[in-house]
Amino acid sequence: MIVTQIYGGLGNQMFQYAAGRALSLAHQEALGLDTSEFDSYALHQGFELTRVFGLNTPQLSREQLRQSFGWRVLPLAQRLAARWPHFPLADQRMVLEPHLDYWPGMANVPAHAYLRGYWQSDRYFQACPDTIRADFQFKDPLQGQALAWAEHMQAVPSVSLHIRRGDYVANPATLAYHGMCSPDYYRQAVDAMAAQVNHPEFFVFSDDLPWARENFKLPYPVHYVDGNVGAASYRDMQLMSLCRHHIIANSSYSWWGAWLNARANKHVMAPARWFAARPTPEGLYPETWTVLS
């Protein structure tokens, strides 16, 4: 069995699942999830893959994990390994992401393995994109205002534009590490998109829509997508994926909103700086996306 540890927000959970799913298919092995991090995880909306996508992948108990992988999956061992790279956790079956760049060593992982990491690259699942998109079909149909937004997006040359503020602004440490996309980036992205798309209409998604309405003006038709908060926040990703083109933020959330759009002729603009405090991971963006400073 391939077991992948799931933690973080929805976008991170999707990367972790996709990497594990691809490896399980390559080995023709079952896939299991370790969701134990959410026993004490208070951020975002908790574990969302089942609720949002209806995935029925088994979630293994701590005892099942211990029986398969021993003490190495115990919470204390995991925390020590995350903080101290030389902690003696080495075992061929325990696969700890060595860095945030795409790691070719995934191809050599054995058929019985436990994955811990972010795995933020489509190269980990480039052999099975149709399967991943099928797994990430949103479970519940759109209704009400969300359905109206979707119909509008599909009727025009729609461009999703994501502005992430929220925790990036509220937490100084988070802001220092992640940073935010600059106004210059958005100006470049809008201009580049308008040069390639006739009569674009921009649909702005943000966790701070009042700020976006007040500060983000465009010389094109622009719509501020509202109504998706709390447990319904994932609807923003769903609606992003229905747009024809995309301007993403430095956020796995809008990364997935763009990637789930399977149109071959889509344009995607992405920021060159994913982090403020470290280089952008190699392999983060699909080769067809346009990266702007």
- What is the per-residue pLDDT across 194-235, written as a single tens digit (0 to 9) for each? 999 999 999 999 999 999 999 888 999 999 999 898 889 999
DSSP 283: T
181 or 72: which leads in pLDDT: 181
- 16, 2 Cβ separation under 8 angstroms: no
Inform me whether the pLDDT recorded for 135 exceeds 90: yes
Specify the pLDDT at position 283: 98
pTM for the model: 0.92
Query: Rg (Cα) of the chain, in Å, rounded?
Result: 19
Q: Which of 15, 20, 22, 17 is nearest to 2 (CA)?
A: 20
**Angle at the Cα of 206 from the Cα atoms of 222 and 177, rounded to 5 degrees:** 135
Half-sphere exposure (Cβ direction) of 95: Cα atoms closer than 13 Å: 25
Please give the mean pLDDT across all residues of the chain: 91
Inform me whether the pLDDT recorded for 284 exceeds 90: yes
Distances (CA, A) of 177 to 172, 274, 278, 286: 9, 10, 8, 23
Specify the pLDDT at position 172: 67
Cα dihedral 210, 235, 147, 288 sign:
positive
Residue 228 CA to its chain's centroid (Å): 18
Q: How far apart are CA 10 and CA 5, in angstroms?
A: 13
Specify the pLDDT at position 169: 55
Inform me whether the pLDDT recorded for 88 exceeds 80: no
